[in-house]
Structure 1
Amino acid sequence: MKKKADIKELVKLKYGEIALQNQNSSCCSSGCCCSPDGAHSIMSEDYTQLEGYNADADLGLGCGLPTKFANIKKGDTVVDLGSGAGNDCFIARQEVGESGKVIGIDFTPQMIAKAEENAKKRGFDNIEFRIGDIEDMPVDDNWADVVVSNCVLNLLPRKDKIFHEIFRVLKPGGHFCISDIVINGELPPSLSEAVEMFVGCIAGAITKDEYIGEITKAGFKQIEILKENNIILPDDLLSKYKSNDSVEAIESKSFEIISITVRGIK
């Protein structure tokens, strides 16, 4: 079993590689949960219809549309966790308008650089990108109206600390809207420990009940799952990690991988 620190360094390394790739050879064209060689797009969501969408900021690493369901209003302050090249930040910026503020947080320097370049191209002066750890955010207490995140939190080992941090930075009455990956059942070790699965949003996932439980323990109220989709792993990906435990688990359908979009209020 990989140590928590090793997992985070692995994620940072692989997402740094993705950030340096050309858009046309990025991890996936429009979906989440892919292998680093770009071979698979398991979950696809269409961002192109959302106002504020910028194709060069979309590296295809999401598993939902959290900004679509986040009820962001003009003048809001928004924090995007795991902001990548800035995709959700630019959509949130369209929602908050000139009077609002958006901060993107990412622990990958290459992603921060790419996001800042994308913002500079567009002359945006109310978006800021900060390098930092989601488990210890560089954001003041009671600062944000809305926190969003897209297929990131499951990559990190300390879900308990993450949701307490989200609670800390939100204003009283503020809310989060997060798209993420959860599981029902248990992934076989040969799948859960695969590098592709870490970068593809799957291996760090916990069960849906555990995930909602961590949100509840952090103090959030009115927790609501807004959207839910099953994710089917393609046969060619599964064949790379075939072992006795994975074959048995797959054939018995002893686990499900699910994309959820969930909202909660402080």
Structure 2
Amino acid sequence: MKPELQRRVQRYGWDYSSPYYEKGWDKQLWPAQRRLLKQAELTPGDSVLDISCGTGLVTFPIAKQVGEEGRVTGIDLSEKMIEKAAEKADEMNITNVSFEQMDAEELALDDARFDVTINSLGMMYYPNPEKAITEMYRVTGVGGRAAALVWGRRSKCGWAEIFPIVDKRVNTDVCPLFFSLGTGDTLQDHFIKAGFNQVELQRFSMTLPYSTNEEAIISAFLGGAVAMAYRKFEEDEKKKAHQEYLESIQPYWDGKVYEIPGEFVIVSGNRI
């Protein structure tokens, strides 16, 4: 898929996902995202850029950690995600955050502007993730820190059958891209090439809990990477795809909840 088309698919796909994203992923992703924030070593007063911020799942915890003297800028390619994040900030009266629609590969931001730059589960969707990491380096100030979280190896992610289930109905071109950064040392190598120092890689596994079939289906089909393709399904195909997906995660049902395994990779580095 050409980069321009891929960006368009991602933009409108996540626009469509925005009403469902938190229901499908909020509590499931937070343990991994909490580890990301710990690795970022945030301190009160920091200026932070949250790249691919979505609806603010990471942005708002960052805002709390940096305090009133700190500042958080959240950017995302999806206009609907940004709108929802801004609405939440208003509702919660969080005043040290701002949101802008922006492409992670072409940040319309000054050099060395931020103390910390963070990317939580956005890198997998970019046509040129190495370019996004170079941009991440550019806007990180001297003495600053960057950290990124991506999904790990496909074989370690129990929900990964969603891709072939969807691809046999509508070709998404997402799967090969999705797991590449979490395989081997790929993301770490990109950080080093961009110029970061003291680059560290953490690989870890966690389970994603889903209490009902409905929760699991919303997460997989409506709240994530295949949402745009899923819109093209006829109703009977949706039902068949749901059933196939539930069969694929059945081994992780313990009688009360699905505990679906997922592997994650965090890479962090300093700009010196």
Q: TM-score, normalised by structure 2?
A: 0.68
Residue type matched to 1:3 in 2?
A: K
**Structure 1 contact 86–104 (Cα < 8 Å) conserved:** yes
Which residue does the alignment assign to 2:15? Answer: 16
- TM superposition shift of 1:22: 8.4
Match 1:208 to one of 184, 187, 199: 184
Which residue does the alignment assign to 1:228? Answer: 204
Identity of aligned residues (%): 24
Secondary structure of the residue that 2:185 maps to in structure 1? helix
Which residue does the alignment assign to 1:120? Answer: 90
**Structure 1 contact 156–204 (Cα < 8 Å) conserved:** no
1:129-148 matches, within 5 Å, as: 129-148=99-118
**Structure 2 contact 180–186 (Cα < 8 Å) conserved:** no
Which residue does the alignment assign to 1:77? Answer: 47
**Structure 2 contact 152–203 (Cα < 8 Å) conserved:** no
Write the distance in 2 (CA, Å) between the matches of 1:265 and 1:239.
44
Which residue does the alignment assign to 1:30? Answer: 27
Query: Unpaired runs of 5+ in structure 2?
Result: 209-219, 221-242, 249-261
- TM superposition shift of 1:149: 1.4
Write the distance in 1 (CA, Å) between the matches of 2:178 and 2:85.
26
Per-residue deviation, residues 187-222 of structure 1 (Å, max 9, x unmatched) = 99x749947987799636333322221111101111
**Structure 2 contact 153–179 (Cα < 8 Å) conserved:** no
Write the distance in 2 (CA, Å) between the matches of 1:201 and 1:121.
39
**Correspondence 1:90 to 2:60:** yes
Equivalent pairs counted in the alignment come to: 218
**Structure 1 contact 155–205 (Cα < 8 Å) conserved:** no
Secondary structure of the residue that 1:20 maps to in structure 2? coil
Write the distance in 2 (CA, Å) between the matches of 1:75 and 1:197.
42
* Richer in helix (by share): 2
Write the distance in 2 (CA, Å) between the matches of 1:200 and 1:69.
27
Write the distance in 2 (CA, Å) between the matches of 1:171 and 1:98.
20
Per-residue deviation, residues 200-250 of structure 1 (Å, max 9, x unmatched) = 996363333222211111011111123422889x9944989xxxxxxxxxx
- TM superposition shift of 1:63: 6.5
- TM superposition shift of 1:139: 1.8
**Structure 1 contact 181–202 (Cα < 8 Å) conserved:** no
Which residue does the alignment assign to 2:148? Answer: 178
- TM superposition shift of 1:132: 0.3
Which residue does the alignment assign to 1:217? Answer: 193
**Structure 1 contact 184–208 (Cα < 8 Å) conserved:** no
Secondary structure of the residue that 1:87 maps to in structure 2? coil
- TM superposition shift of 1:127: 0.4
Secondary structure of the residue that 2:188 maps to in structure 1? helix
Residue type matched to 1:212 in 2?
A: Q
Match 2:137 to one of 158, 167, 180: 167
Secondary structure of the residue that 1:102 maps to in structure 2? strand
Query: Unpaired runs of 5+ in structure 1?
Result: 32-43, 47-61, 241-256
Write the distance in 1 (CA, Å) between the matches of 2:176 and 2:94.
29
Highest RCO, 1 vs 2 (Cα 8 Å, sep ≥ 6): 2
Which residue does the alignment assign to 1:108? Answer: 78
